[in-house]
């Protein structure tokens, strides 16, 4: 194609540290207080408002603690519910503690700390309060992970046999990664790892199609589902790392072909693919795609520009890029049960829809996002939706609380309401609303919305080891590409902000504008400016990845990997200290293993690999990370294969094969790839506009 990409080593971008939002126990980000709390004395950012503060004061008074020293400690512990890091302080797996993790120098979350007053805070609480009566004590053993409250007066010595038992329960264990409370502030694990020397890749498929999704088979095997933008979904077998084998699938025999239902062109196509958490027993899977109502009778959803959001579709003219409701975003359900009585062994599925989950008419021809994910803890479906298009979000959809554009939606697809209920509730399709969606607390917010203020979220992921960490990359417009940590009801600023900067549109908005001081916006945790990367075509466009949790490259472990579509560059973001919400991000060089199953193409005039356009990332059941690019599918492999030094790598360990069945297709690489040689280019050059 004649496009020369700059060597990634030349893109030496070191981004400044940026603060992420901390997280409250209700999955929301803390808010900025207009006035200090009366009882707990928090000011600035807090997880409590005045009502919560008054409730904590009432709870403390009911304890009737006679000793002032013990009372002061218990008050500080109660008030940690208002701490901006309360989600980390109170979490025990899926449950919540009755009191926060108390810093303890032995057998605690901070065992590496020196034995001072703060690191021995749990012991200090015991020593001070052990013989003091506390009514409705939150320290009762039966209350761990429970909301029940005893009414009798108790001493710590009545409830616990010893100081060590008490601190084992409330101080955590040395293997915990959570933060702890030291009596006055939050303490973090300060162990820091030096950034990796580089990322080593192997090329395991040289297809030229615009592959946008690679998701693991829910059976836990070494199989993945791979889909392209045109609407083909394949079942593929992932080879052992270092085996010299390639990604194995038969391109002429897809798992399912949805191309007849999908409108495919530039920013249209099959955008999202997700398999039900219980797929191995129920065979349910879901696709998010675009359709054209002039070509398909089933493409007939409500228009996102409607009277409910103060928008008149008749005023959207084609001469300004509008195509009101001609193109629509769809989520549809399919089944693998028709081809096999046991879905985990199915190698094909029917292209006929089982159920239409959602259909939404689009105002413009860009910014449709479209990824779908199931939450690892709640099992609900998350749908990433862009602002609907055109420069600067001119109709202010992203900040409009009644519009679904520029949002992340959270849907319950397991409980399908009746047609009457759908109509009465004003839903967009066959799903119900989770009871704890943000609208339960904010009546102005449309019920489906989980988060708002996004421009075009392109690739989001949950951290597999810290599922409360929900990362989304959001493509910028003029100056900045960002990565956000998504929280319940969080507002990420677009089009008030672009990244951390005030956004000033070049054209007047056709919708109601939102004042910058009228809402609490959450700043990105990572990102880069357009001017900091070398772009030969198009504009910068961030591609979200994953927190790396494979031990194949132990020096990448725990770091968030993301990239740019056009620059062919990648970054690794590190939270340091861990759980602090404080991130640093650095451009990471990458190389291709000399023994790569398929040799990597090189950047002109260099030995460094050229991936072409980076469209997306994928992750398999082993948590190995894959890069879906215009020049093939690549996998992150052992750093020693590229001569990168990593002291943590054990080069003597054998790789244990993944469990489960494998597919029987074989690679047939020419015919279908040629059909999509032009398709990926159309997608790439218009992705971020």
Q: What is the pLDDT of residues 362-403, one digit of tens each?
A: 999 999 999 999 999 999 999 999 999 989 999 999 999 999
Helix 68-78 to helix 50-63 angle (10° resolution) is 150
Residue 1 has pLDDT above 60, yes or no: no
pLDDT class of 17 with cuts at 50, 70, 90: very low
The predicted pLDDT at position 681 comes to 39
Which is higher by pLDDT, 188 or 284? 284
The predicted pLDDT at position 230 comes to 96
CA-CA distance, 501 to 258, in Å (whole number)? Answer: 41
SS3 456: coil
**Above pLDDT 90, what percent of the chain?**
66
Which is higher by pLDDT, 514 or 485? 485
Average pLDDT over residues 164-188: 77
SS3 409: strand
Residue 151 has pLDDT above 70, yes or no: no
List domains and CATH numbers for the chain. Answer: 25-187 (no CATH), 199-685 (2.120.10.30)
**How many angstroms separate the Cα of 230 from the Cα of each of 56, 66, 240, 671?**
56, 71, 29, 15
Average pLDDT over residues 548-555: 96
Category of 490 on φ-ψ map: left (φ > 0), alpha (ψ -120 to 50) or beta: beta
pTM recorded for the entire structure: 0.87
CA-CA distance, 97 to 84, in Å (whole number)? Answer: 16
Record the tokens describing residue 689, joined without a space.
Answer: 């506009």
Residue 465 has pLDDT above 90, yes or no: yes
SS3 91: strand
The predicted pLDDT at position 606 comes to 78
- Among 182-191, 202-211, 633-642, name the one with the lowest average pLDDT: 182-191
The stretches of 483-603 forming alpha helices (DSSP H) are none
Beta strands at 457-462 and 449-452: parallel, antiparallel or unpaired: unpaired
Residue 211 has pLDDT above 90, yes or no: yes
314-347 pLDDT per residue, tens: 888 775 556 778 999 999 999 998 655 788 899 9
Beta strands at 560-564 and 570-575: parallel, antiparallel or unpaired: antiparallel
pLDDT class of 115 with cuts at 50, 70, 90: very low
**How many angstroms separate the Cα of 391 from the Cα of each of 306, 322, 435, 458, 508?**
20, 11, 35, 17, 10
The predicted pLDDT at position 112 comes to 34
**How many angstroms separate the Cα of 457 from the Cα of each of 526, 536, 539?**
14, 23, 16
Phi, then psi, of 586 in degrees rounded to 5: -140, 140
SS3 544: strand
The predicted pLDDT at position 9 comes to 30
Record the tokens describing residue 156, joined without a space.
Answer: 């710590």
Q: Which residues pair with 102 in a beta bridge?
A: 181
From start to end of 82-194, where are the E strands?
Answer: 91-92, 95-96, 134-135, 153-154, 180-181, 186-187
| Residue appearing with tokens 């460094």 | 608
Considering only CA atoms, give the Rg of the chain.
26
Angle of CA points 412, 395, 444, to nearest 5°: 45
The predicted pLDDT at position 192 comes to 61
CA-CA distance, 350 to 64, in Å (whole number)? Answer: 66
Record the tokens describing residue 221, joined without a space.
Answer: 């095997």
Residue 494 has pLDDT above 60, yes or no: yes
CA-CA distance, 28 to 16, in Å (whole number)? Answer: 25
């Amino acid at each position: 194609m004649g496009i020369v990409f700059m060597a990634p080593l030349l893109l030496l971008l070191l981004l400044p540290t940026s603060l992420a939002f901390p997280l409250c126990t209700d999955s929301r980000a803390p808010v900025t207080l207009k006035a200090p709390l009366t009882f707990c004395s928090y000011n600035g950012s807090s997880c409590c408002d005045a009502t919560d503060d008054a409730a904590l004061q009432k709870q403390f008074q009911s304890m009737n603690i006679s000793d002032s020293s013990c009372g002061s400690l218990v008050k500080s512990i109660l008030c940690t519910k208002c701490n901006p890091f309360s989600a980390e302080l109170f979490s025990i797996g899926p449950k919540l503690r009755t009191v926060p993790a108390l810093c303890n120098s032995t057998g605690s979350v901070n065992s590496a700390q020196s034995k001072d007053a703060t690191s021995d805070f749990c012991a200090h609480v015991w020593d001070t309060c052990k013989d003091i009566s506390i009514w409705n004590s939150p320290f009762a053993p039966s209350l761990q992970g429970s909301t029940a409250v005893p009414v009798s007066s108790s001493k710590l010595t009545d409830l616990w046999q010893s100081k060590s038992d008490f601190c084992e329960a409330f101080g955590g264990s040395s293997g915990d990664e959570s933060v702890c409370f030291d009596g006055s502030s939050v303490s973090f694990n300060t162990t820091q790892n030096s950034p990796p020397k580089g990322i080593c890749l192997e090329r395991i498929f040289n297809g030229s199609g615009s592959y946008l999704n690679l998701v693991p088979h829910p059976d836990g095997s070494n199989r993945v589902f791979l889909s392209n933008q045109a609407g083909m979904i394949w079942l593929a077998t992932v080879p052992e790392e270092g085996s010299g084998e390639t990604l194995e699938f038969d391109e002429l025999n897809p798992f399912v072909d949805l191309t007849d239902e999908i409108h495919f062109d530039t920013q249209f196509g099959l955008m999202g693919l997700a398999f039900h958490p219980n797929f191995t027993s129920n065979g349910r899977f879901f696709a998010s795609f675009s359709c054209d109502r002039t070509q398909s009778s089933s493409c007939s959803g409500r228009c996102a520009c409607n009277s409910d959001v103060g928008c008149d579709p008749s005023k959207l003219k084609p001469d300004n890029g509008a195509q009101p409701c001609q193109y629509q975003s769809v989520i549809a359900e399919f089944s693998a049960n028709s081809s096999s009585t046991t879905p985990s062994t199915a190698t094909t599925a029917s292209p006929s829809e089982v159920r239409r989950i959602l259909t939404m008419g689009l105002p413009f021809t860009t910014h449709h996002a479209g990824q779908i994910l199931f939450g690892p803890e709640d099992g609900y479906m998350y749908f990433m939706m862009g602002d609907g298009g055109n420069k600067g979000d001119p109709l202010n959809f992203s900040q409009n609380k009644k519009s679904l554009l520029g949002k992340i939606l959270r849907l319950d697809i397991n409980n399908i309401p009746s047609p009457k209920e759908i109509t009465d509730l004003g839903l967009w399709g066959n799903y119900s609303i989770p009871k704890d969606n943000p609208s339960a607390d904010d009546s102005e917010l449309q019920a489906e919305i989980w988060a708002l203020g996004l421009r075009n979220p392109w690739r989001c992921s949950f951290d597999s080891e810290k599922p409360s960490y929900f990362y989304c990359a959001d493509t910028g417009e003029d100056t900045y590409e960002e990565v956000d940590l998504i929280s319940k009801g969080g507002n990420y600023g677009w089009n008030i902000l672009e990244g951390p900067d005030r956004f000033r549109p070049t054209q007047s908005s056709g919708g109601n504008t939102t004042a910058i001081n009228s809402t609490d916006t959450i700043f990105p945790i990572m990102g880069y400016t357009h001017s900091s990367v070398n772009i030969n075509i198009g504009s910068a466009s961030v591609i979200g990845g994953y927190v790396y949790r494979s031990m194949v490259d132990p020096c990448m472990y725990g770091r968030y990997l993301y990239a740019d579509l056009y620059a062919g560059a990648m970054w690794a973001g590190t939270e340091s200290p861990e759980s602090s919400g404080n991130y640093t991000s650095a451009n990471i060089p990458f190389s291709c293993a000399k023994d790569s199953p398929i040799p990597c193409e090189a950047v002109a005039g260099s030995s460094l690999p050229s991936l072409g356009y980076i469209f997306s990332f994928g992750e398999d059941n082993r948590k190995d990370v894959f890069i879906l690019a215009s020049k093939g599918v690549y996998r992150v492999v052992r750093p020693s294969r590229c001569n990168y030094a990593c002291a943590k790598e054990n080069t003597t360990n054998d790789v244990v094969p993944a469990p489960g069945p494998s597919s029987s297709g074989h690679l047939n690489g020419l015919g279908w790839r040629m059909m999509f040689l032009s398709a990926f280019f159309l997608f790439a050059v218009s992705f971020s506009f």
